[in-house]
Amino acid sequence: MDKIKCSKELYCQFLLASQKEFSATTLASLKAEISHDKVTRWLGNTKLTPKILWEHVEGLIDKENGLLVFDDSVLAKPYSQEIELTKWQYSGNTHRIIRGINLISMLWTGSNGLNEHIPVEFRIYSKTEDGKSKNDHFRDMVLLSVHRGLKVQAYVFDTWYSSVNNLKWLNRLNLTWVTWLRSNRIVDYGEHISEKEIPDNGLVVHLKAVGFIKVFKMVHPQTGDIEYLATNDLDYSTLDIKKVAAHRWKIEEYHRGLKQTVGIEHCQARLARSQRTHIFCSLMAFVFLEVKRLKTGVSWYQSKRDIIQSAMRYYLEKPSISLNFS
């Protein structure tokens, strides 16, 4: 009877080492002492909460500085009719309706130009499971950040969370926010924001039921789309808003990295608990890649290649296939 158990350390190392296959079958094939069933049971019986993630990353961030950026991503599950937590939903990445799991993330990023991507909290949107909307999760995470003593420069989020109720609520908490507004958002008692002449240094306008805000007009560097950013800090400069926008645009790199380096989408387990365990371990494994990047300058993708190169060097020193050309 084997005594070796699956663990979050082993599973995270597996996610870091694997290049394309992230299944329990693959892990079992690499670790003879652990069966497929044992990995499956561990995924389904283990409870790894966002609080545990916070305990790991708390020491990596500056609570008195930086930004908290909110974003959500759909983890595609195209063949997932029987996988719990999945539902049909719009994907901003593919610009179409797909079946998947909606992951809402709160990331900390500093103001030192390193573009850190440190997930400090996350939620899985599943209203049938917990009855909460995306806005409920957003507010829960904001309050949690305040409770944990984070005093960041701003809370940054996209149009999904820019409702009047959310903005008023953040104002009551005396929190600085930066958000994106749709071009048809009404300001100054009847004008679309796109109809305003907005100078490079921003324009103070009135948003009904919220109060005076400062808006900026910017062009997305990749898509060329015109975007409207707004903040409740009327002293924000063009430089301030450009820095915030640059951090927000970098979030797409974070999501791409999660999917390509640690296989966050690639768990096909049916149980909700199994999916949650895999998602947690994927986030944790990514944190280790990010810490290495910040310390050494080695990219996430190069760290993955280094593992393969190490295995190749070991094989070349002790090849398992005998060659005879005589």
pLDDT (tens digit, 9 = 90+) per residue, 84-105? 999 888 777 777 888 999 999 9
Output Rg (C-alpha) for the chain, integer angstroms.
22
Question: Is the per-residue pLDDT at 5 higher than 90?
Answer: no
231: left (phi over 0), alpha (psi -120 to 50) or beta: beta
pLDDT of residue 114: 64
C-alpha angle 27-5-50 in degrees, rounded to nearest 5: 80
pLDDT of residue 112: 64
What's the rounded Cα separation, in Å, for the pair 49 and 154? 25
The residue type found at 23 is: S
104-154 residue pLDDT tens: 999 999 866 668 889 999 999 998 889 999 999 999 999 999 999 999 999
> Could you give all domains of the chain from N- to C-terminal order, each with its CATH number?
8-311 (3.90.350)
Coil, strand or helix at 5: coil
69-88 residue pLDDT tens: 999 999 988 876 789 999 88
Question: Is the per-residue pLDDT at 227 higher than 60?
Answer: yes
Q: For the whole model, what pTM was predicted?
A: 0.92
What's the rounded Cα separation, in Å, for the pair 42 and 36? 10
262-279 residue pLDDT tens: 999 999 899 999 999 999
DSSP class of 161: G
Interval 297-302 mean pLDDT: 96
> pLDDT band at 1, cuts 50/70/90?
very low
The residue type found at 123 is: R
In three state form, how does the secondary structure of 50-108 look? Answer: HHHHHHHHHHHCCCCCCEEEEEEEEEECCCCCCCCCCEEEEECCCCEEEEEEEEEEEEE
Task: Identify the H or E element spanning 207.
Answer: strand 203-207
Q: Percentage of residues in the chain with pLDDT exceeding 70? A: 96
Coil, strand or helix at 211: strand
Coil, strand or helix at 36: helix
Q: Which of 24, 90, 2 is nearest to 263 (CA)?
A: 24
pLDDT of residue 3: 59
pLDDT of residue 115: 80
Question: Is the per-residue pLDDT at 246 higher than 70?
Answer: yes
pLDDT of residue 181: 96
What's the rounded Cα separation, in Å, for the pair 154 and 174? 11
What's the rounded Cα separation, in Å, for the pair 268 and 270? 6
The residue type found at 106 is: M
Length of the chain: 326
pLDDT of residue 128: 87
Burial annotation 195-220 (CB, 10 A radius, 16+ → b, else e): eeebeeebbebebeebeebbbbbbee
Mean pLDDT of the chain: 92
